[in-house]
Structure 1
Amino acid sequence: MKKILNSYLSSFAGLSSEVWWLALITLINRAGTMVIPFLSLYLTQNLGFTLENVGTIMTSFGLGSLFGAWAGGKLTDKIGYYQTMVGSLFLTGILFISVQFLEGLWPICIGIFLLMTVADAFRPASYVALSAYSKPENKTRSVTLIRLAINLGFSAGPALGGILISSVGYGGLFYADGGTCILASILLLAVLNPKRAKVTDTLKIVENPKSAYFDGPYILFIICMIMVSFAFVQYFSTVPIFYKEVHSLSELEIGILMALNGFTIFLLEMPLIKFMESKAFSQLTNVLFGLALIGLSFFVLNLFENSSILVAGMLLMTFGEMIAFPFSNAFAMKRATRGKQGEYLALYTIAFSIAHVFAHNLGMKSIAKFGFQTTWYTICIVCVVGIGLLAALNKSLNRKKAILE
């Protein structure tokens, strides 16, 4: 047991104190994101919207995320990652508290759009900060530490969210989300001020940086990440409805099941990433393998009617996520040294935003028209196409690398 513990702790060695502070800020912020997993249930059960209405609102969610990621990249390149992160966190807190008072389809759409625009400006800025605070050889593990903080927050968040819904109703979630965002902005001001924080990445960015929008292989990579995220985001919109309507789970049971995702990541992701880094696989090969597991998680949902299969599906998705996202993020940060960092990492964030724009809406409408089974098989097909594109991209990059060598 001591040997296992020492091995686990050694996987965290060498990370800078700034990365640890950024992880703590992320943990505080994400522990309060209780609204997101329950948003589709809140809109249907508390506000009485139809699935088609929810799809429209989630499209506003995605459009705000898309615009926010783009704006965050521009702001990061122009005014710096620190100022962008502080402003985003504080204003997101105010908006989270305010949006619960909106009524009607279009006011809620506008409110959710503004909320996500401000909230997702944080993401490209945080990736650039993470890259600055990490040595090149530690970037994948630094990403993994931030993901641990995110998922530990998500592990506590849904469970606490289920308790809050049962005790004080959905309104308490918005206050919790807003308060934690404001708290995270205060901590960021206190510990990561550029006058105190130390930049540890000595890798120089190229002069006359090229635009990410003209980097062909990177654009193909972003298309692949859209497919990855298209499948992944279903676990935060259509899958909770599947749990509720098909398997009759309560909000508390849904929260606990989703907490399994965060808890598993907290326990296993860092050792898993350290192990996989010791192998000869490329970053894109690991992303491909992770996407295969995510696709398989939907396939098994159609195989069995027993509710125990939901645990197997969640674990498959979790392991796919643990592999795909750290290595894809590390690939994006490495590629970003070729050009404008904010622009490159904004595009990486935009891949997820595009999925929010289309995936939730298409998923909801597909369920309403064709049912859950057809929808899950369709998502599996999307994953297979993504796997094929990743394999082709990996082969192309390896061929170019061999020529250069």
Structure 2
Amino acid sequence: MITKLLKNYLNNFTQFSVEVKVLAITTFINRLGAMVVPFLSKYMLEQLHFSYNQIGWVMVFFGTGSFIGTWISGKLSDKIGFYKVMIFSLLGSGVVFILLQFLTTFYSFCFGVLILTTISDMYRPAMLVSLDTYAGKKERTKALSLIRSSVNLGFMFGPLIGGIIITFLDYTFLFYIDGLTCILSILLFAFFVKEKKLPYKLNTFKHLKEENSIFQDKPFLIHLVVTLITGILFFQMFTTLSLYYKEVFNFSSIESGLFLALNGVLILLFELSIVSYVESKNINKLLMVSFGILSMAISYLFLLIEHSVLALIVMMIFMTIGIMFTFPFANSFVKKRSLKKQEGKFMAAFTMSYSVAHILSTKTGMAIIADYGYRANWIFLTCLGFVGFLLAYRLVFVVSKEKETIKKKIVDAIFVSNSK
């Protein structure tokens, strides 16, 4: 069974260009090195002795830096090109990762995290834009899924290796390995991938005005809210949930890493196959997103079953199903709606919604836990997830109606022009 799944995954991998494959490998190495992130809350609690409130504020700076970085990336990708932005992001974040360990006071750590995420999160919007150049039109959703599989493969081994390093060595080694893997990934990328530009540009959605097009695109704005809710549900896996493992179940760093590894294994084995199936059967992608958010909402219900390791496993399975249904198709929707001249701005706005989600997710989660406990936080996330599901499900009909309106305008234009 596993051999067959692995074979199907490798078959999906072979269809892409060399550049897309290198992007996937580079992203894997980069994410493999991001071992600090899943243990950041734990590091601040155990090593720096920060309070819950202080940890929440550090994560606000984490999300703020992400927001700034993605905004800058969107601007620069449209002006100087995605290639230079990606090079700078990977190299800069590698250096800052190494330096972060020397910042031990609350304010200095907030500043360090802000700089780190500002630089590191310039990578993602630029990388998403690069797929238009290095992947064919029909392969772009699969290419996005491949990159996500690389991210999750890195997260599968990264937390596990990180947990082993923390247990047997020290957090210091974690920062050094994080930084060096970022630098290694950029060397690989620069050597194998050369800067290339699209030979032409098209306005995909001519019915949208180019000026302020993002804010005039109502379905896109609804999608941003859905993405925001998805991000809030997702990011708690790396913040409040990691503390929950430690404080309620007394898990070691290795055991906590194994739960994140389960998420990575499932995504590695199934996501590309799911994307391929949805593409081949022409299933409505927004419908998949809505059911994905529903699955993420249900996952938090299982955390209400206290002191059950089985409930934690089932929770992670439902969460992973939700991630596989939402993230690849949410990306695909944004790319299809973006005006080619402003694609960097569209992708930046989309990515910034995750940055805002990171700020809200951690701060609200920590505040709820501090005042009312973990159980109240899981109930809040479940309710929020159901709201996201309703919005995403509504969006299916909004976009469908929009398509019908556009078709009608085209038909009317043809008949009016012929009658003249």
If the length of structure 2 is used for normalisation, what is the TM-score?
0.92
Q: What is the rounded CA distance, in whole Å, between the counterparts of 1:3 and 1:56 in structure 2?
A: 46
Aligned with residue 300 of structure 1, among 299, 302, 307: 302
Give the letter aligned to residue 272 of structure 1.
I
Q: Is the 8 A contact 2:6 2:269 kept in 1?
A: no
Which consecutive unaligned segments of at least 5 residues does structure 2 have? 408-420
What's 1:50 paired with?
A: 51
Overall identity of the aligned pairs, in %: 37
TM-aligned CA deviation for residue 336 of structure 1: 1.4
What aligned pairs does 1:250-329 form with structure 2 within 5 A after superposition?
250-329=252-331
Evaluate the alpha carbon distance shift between residue 304 and residue 106 of structure 1 in structure 2; reply closer, same or farther with a 3 A threshold. closer
Asked if residue 386 in structure 1 is aligned to residue 384 in structure 2, the reply is: no
What's 2:65 paired with?
A: 64
Q: What is the rounded CA distance, in whole Å, between the counterparts of 1:310 and 1:203 in structure 2?
A: 48
Of stretches 44-53 and 297-306 in structure 1, the one that deviates more from structure 2 is 297-306
Q: What is the rounded CA distance, in whole Å, between the counterparts of 1:350 and 1:98 in structure 2?
A: 25
TM-aligned CA deviation for residue 180 of structure 1: 0.8
What's 1:166 paired with?
A: 167
SS in 2 for 1:256: helix
Q: What is the rounded CA distance, in whole Å, between the counterparts of 1:279 and 1:292 in structure 2?
A: 22
Q: What is the rounded CA distance, in whole Å, between the counterparts of 1:4 and 1:93 in structure 2?
A: 34
Indicate the structure (1 or 2) with the bigger Cα radius of gyration.
Answer: 2
Q: What is the rounded CA distance, in whole Å, between the counterparts of 1:4 and 1:122 in structure 2?
A: 30
Q: 1:197-244 CA distances to partner (integer Å, 9 max, x unpaired)?
A: 585x97724588444233222111111100010011000000011111
Which consecutive unaligned segments of at least 5 residues does structure 1 have? none
What aligned pairs does 1:72-91 form with structure 2 within 5 A after superposition?
72-91=73-92
Q: What is the rounded CA distance, in whole Å, between the counterparts of 1:83 and 1:344 in structure 2?
A: 19
TM-aligned CA deviation for residue 16 of structure 1: 1.9
Q: What is the rounded CA distance, in whole Å, between the counterparts of 1:8 and 1:124 in structure 2?
A: 25
Q: Is the 8 A contact 1:209 1:338 kept in 2?
A: no
Asked if residue 243 in structure 1 is aligned to residue 241 in structure 2, the reply is: no
Aligned with residue 229 of structure 1, among 228, 231, 240: 231
Q: 1:131-153 CA distances to partner (integer Å, 9 max, x unpaired)?
A: 22122211111001001111111
Q: What is the rounded CA distance, in whole Å, between the counterparts of 1:90 and 1:332 in structure 2?
A: 28
Evaluate the alpha carbon distance shift between residue 401 and residue 185 of structure 1 in structure 2; reply closer, same or farther with a 3 A threshold. same
Q: Is the 8 A contact 2:202 2:340 kept in 1?
A: no
Give the letter aligned to residue 368 of structure 1.
A
SS in 2 for 1:204: coil
TM-aligned CA deviation for residue 99 of structure 1: 1.0
What's 1:217 paired with?
A: 219
What's 2:347 paired with?
A: 345
Q: What is the rounded CA distance, in whole Å, between the counterparts of 1:70 and 1:40 in structure 2?
A: 25
Of stretches 155-164 and 180-189 in structure 1, the one that deviates more from structure 2 is 180-189
What's 1:140 paired with?
A: 141
Of stretches 30-39 and 16-25 in structure 1, the one that deviates more from structure 2 is 16-25
Give the letter aligned to residue 257 of structure 1.
F
SS in 2 for 1:235: coil
Of stretches 87-96 and 274-283 in structure 1, the one that deviates more from structure 2 is 274-283
What's 1:396 paired with?
A: 398
Q: 1:320-379 CA distances to partner (integer Å, 9 max, x unpaired)?
A: 101110000111111113650100000111011001111101101101111111110100
TM-aligned CA deviation for residue 60 of structure 1: 0.5
Evaluate the alpha carbon distance shift between residue 5 and residue 267 of structure 1 in structure 2; reply closer, same or farther with a 3 A threshold. closer
Report how many residues are paired.
402
Q: Is the 8 A contact 2:142 2:272 kept in 1?
A: yes
TM-aligned CA deviation for residue 188 of structure 1: 1.6
Q: What is the rounded CA distance, in whole Å, between the counterparts of 2:234 and 2:314 in structure 1?
A: 15
